[in-house]
Amino acid sequence: MELYELTAHELMDKLNSGEITSEEITKSYFSRIKEKDNQIKAYISLLEEEALDKAKKVDEDRKLGKKVSKYAGIPIGIKDNICISGSKTTCGSKILENFVAPYNATVIENLNNEDMFFLGKTNMDEFAFGSSTENSAFYPTRNPWDLDRVPGGSSGGSAAAVAANMAPWALGSDTGGSIRQPSSLCGVIGFKPTYGLVSRYGLVAYASSLDQIGTITKDVTDSALLLNLIAGHDEKDSTSMNLEKKDYTLSLVNDVKGMKIGIPKEYIGKGINDEVRESVLSVAKKYEELGATIEECSFEVGKYAIGAYYIMATAEASSNLGRFDGIRYGYRTKQFNNLKDIYRNSRSEGFGAEAKRRIMLGTYVLSAGYYDAYYKKAQKVRTVINKAYNELFEKYDLLLTPVSPITAFKVGEKIDNPLEMYLADICTVPINIGGIPGMSIPCGIDSNGLPISFQLLAKPFGEETIIRAAYTYEKNFNFRENYKPTFKNSK
């Protein structure tokens, strides 16, 4: 077995027992990346030199018997909208093609503190706008399960890298499903924690009230281990919650007896692909066999979520992207005679079509005379959705839904139909509006050999319940051992 095939916790065990070195791990990954990434295109930039230097240093420290973190020497892939000081952070956009971040995101600081390091920056839809990674200004990423298909998005690079064994694990960001949906389409574990659990400082903002950094891993144990590092209060982020630090690995317990799981009927009905529905229902059955109670419930207000999401998210995005104006950093047009030209031409030339679409949508819904009809109404939907979740989580420990109504679609299939693309988020978007945690866990493959995943949701800061249930499922149905990506083209 190759090192790159292992999970992060398996690597940690071998590394800490002295069986292998960090240099060996790192070299294994870079040789894998060289072998596969010309097909997958999961990375925008690689940090090979820095990674090898760090790996050697950590190996040296271990050899000298210095006290090191158990995570020391483990590499990770980072979505290219999270700032690493001294490295390019492009957000998949031409406008930031040559932007070098002058500071570290808090999550990067956290990983540095454990002497972890970075394989590279992963591809994404421009500014996280999209569900296919086709909106990257550089190139689309391909799905390792079928090279003609998309890996999902916007964290498609991170999900594909983990699925293709080009990273043991990765960080992504999730505003409306951007971690869970690509994880689903690539057959890996994607975890979006509660809004406010992980600091957003250093995550280039898409929609500030919805964005959350999370993990993409090969198994649930790795999700808990990685969440332990990134969760926690950060005084640099006013929206991060000041809660007692938890050890999420304590929830890696193979037992769901007595758990109450609700299945909102709206997410197993019309609009959900039959194979996906069946697979998700079989998960429910499995949980029932394992001692949980399953009950159908209703989340009717969920139907307003997509509409409200595309108002709130684009409104915030239109404001957040204002700073990319060609003045201080990033792309500046060569064609200008005055200030207005700099703004207009830099932004016209620097942003892609989807970014422009969302900036215009957001600008429109915030405009004088439209604010009440759109933005204010969307905020009301948010209140209603929060209330509905509160009521459901009084009754249930978890909710179970699909992640994506369909499995991976073909590159180019939806790119000209933004509305259809937006509907790919139908099962994931309400979770961000509610600010609650959600995890995508693979549970089978469809007739095309493409992964299907289910989603577990819990009340705010209910990550432990999700981890416990996901871990139990994984112990009783190990997707990873049964199915592997093929790196083939469609039949």
Partner 1 sequence: MSLLDYEVIIGLEVHCELSTKTKIYCSCPTTFGAEPNTQCCPICMAMPGTLPVLNEKVVEYAVKAGLATNCKIARNSKSDRKNYFYPDLPKAYQISQFDLPLCYDGFINIETDEGEKTIGITRIHIEEDAGKLNHDEFGRGTFVDLNRAGVPLIEVVSEPDLRSKEEAESYLRKLKSIFEYIGISDCKMQEGSLRADVNVSVRKKGSAKFGTRTEMKNMNSFRSISRAIEYEANRQIEVIENGGIIEQETLRWDDISGKTFSMRDKEEAQDYRYFPEPDLAAIKLSDEYIENIKKSLPELPESRKKRYLLDMNLTEKAAKFVTDSKYFSNLFEEASSICNNPKAVSNWIMSDIARILNEREEEPEDIRFSGKELGELVSLIDKGTISSAIAKKILEEMFENPENPSKIIEKKGWVQISDENAIKEIVNKILEANPQSIIDYKAGKDKALGFLVGQAMKETKGKANPQILNKLFLEGILGDNSVK
Residue from 3, 74, 101, 294 binding partner 1 (CB under 8 A): 101
Per CB under 8 A, 343 contacts partner 1: yes
Catalytic residue among 131, 136, 178, 183: 178
Per CB under 8 A, 375 contacts partner 1: yes
Residue with Cβ nearer partner 1 (200 or 218)? 200
Per CB under 8 A, 325 contacts partner 1: yes
Stretch near partner 1 under the rule CB under 8 A, chosen from 34-42, 67-75, 158-166, 366-374: 366-374
178 annotated active-site = yes
Residue with Cβ nearer partner 1 (234 or 425)? 234
Stretch near partner 1 under the rule CB under 8 A, chosen from 153-161, 196-204, 254-262, 389-397: 196-204
Residue 83 Cβ vs partner 1, minimum distance, rounded to whole Å: 5
Catalytic residue among 154, 318, 404, 453: 154
Catalytic residue among 41, 54, 79, 286: 79
Stretch near partner 1 under the rule CB under 8 A, chosen from 134-142, 288-296, 361-369, 441-449: 361-369
Per CB under 8 A, 464 contacts partner 1: no
Residues 198-217 that bind partner 1 (CB under 8 A): 200-205, 207-209
Query: 3-class secondary structure for the chain?
Result: CCHHHCCHHHHHHHHHCCCCCHHHHHHHHHHHHHHHHHHHCCEEEECHHHHHHHHHHHHHHHHCCCCCCCCCCCEEEEECCECCCCCECCCCCHHHCCCECCCCCHHHHHHHHCCCEEEEEECCCHHHCCCCCCCCCCCCCCECCECCECCCCCCHHHHHHHHCCCCCEEEEEECCCCCHHHHHHHCCEEEECCCCCECCCCECCCCCCCCEEEEEECCHHHHHHHHHHHECCCCCCCCCCCCCCCCHHHHCCCCCCCCEEEEEHHHCCCCCCHHHHHHHHHHHHHHHHCCCEEEEECCHHHHHHHHHHHHHHHHHHHHHHHHCCCCCCCCCCCCCCCHHHHHHHHHHHHCCHHHHHHHHHHHHHHCCCCCHHHHHHHHHHHHHHHHHHHHHHHHCCEEEEECCCCCCCECCCCCCCHHHHHHCCCCCHHHHHHCCCEEEEEEEECCCCCEEEEEEECCCCCHHHHHHHHHHHHHHCCHHHHCCCCCCCCC
Per CB under 8 A, 412 contacts partner 1: no
What are the tokens at 383? Answer: 């209140």
Per CB under 8 A, 105 contacts partner 1: yes
Number of residues that bind partner 1 (CB under 8 A): 44
Per CB under 8 A, 67 contacts partner 1: no
Residue with Cβ nearer partner 1 (367 or 476)? 367
Per CB under 8 A, 78 contacts partner 1: no
What are the tokens at 283? Answer: 């998960």
Residue with Cβ nearer partner 1 (96 or 443)? 96
Residue 41 Cβ vs partner 1, minimum distance, rounded to whole Å: 23
Residues 305-324 that bind partner 1 (CB under 8 A): 315-316, 318-319, 322-324
Per CB under 8 A, 82 contacts partner 1: yes
Angle at alpha carbon of residue 43, lines to 42 and 48, rounded to 5°: 135
Residues 27-56 that bind partner 1 (CB under 8 A): none
154 annotated active-site = yes
Residue with Cβ nearer partner 1 (126 or 464)? 126
Phi and psi for 355 in degrees, rounded to 5?
A: -60, -45
Residue with Cβ nearer partner 1 (101 or 466)? 101
Phi and psi for 302 in degrees, rounded to 5?
A: -55, -25
Per CB under 8 A, 61 contacts partner 1: no
Per CB under 8 A, 303 contacts partner 1: no
Q: List interacting residues with partner 1 (CB under 8 A).
A: 81-83, 89, 91, 96, 99, 101-103, 105, 200-205, 207-209, 235-239, 315-316, 318-319, 322-325, 327-329, 339, 343, 363, 366-368, 371, 375
List, by residue number, the catalytic residues: 79, 154, 178
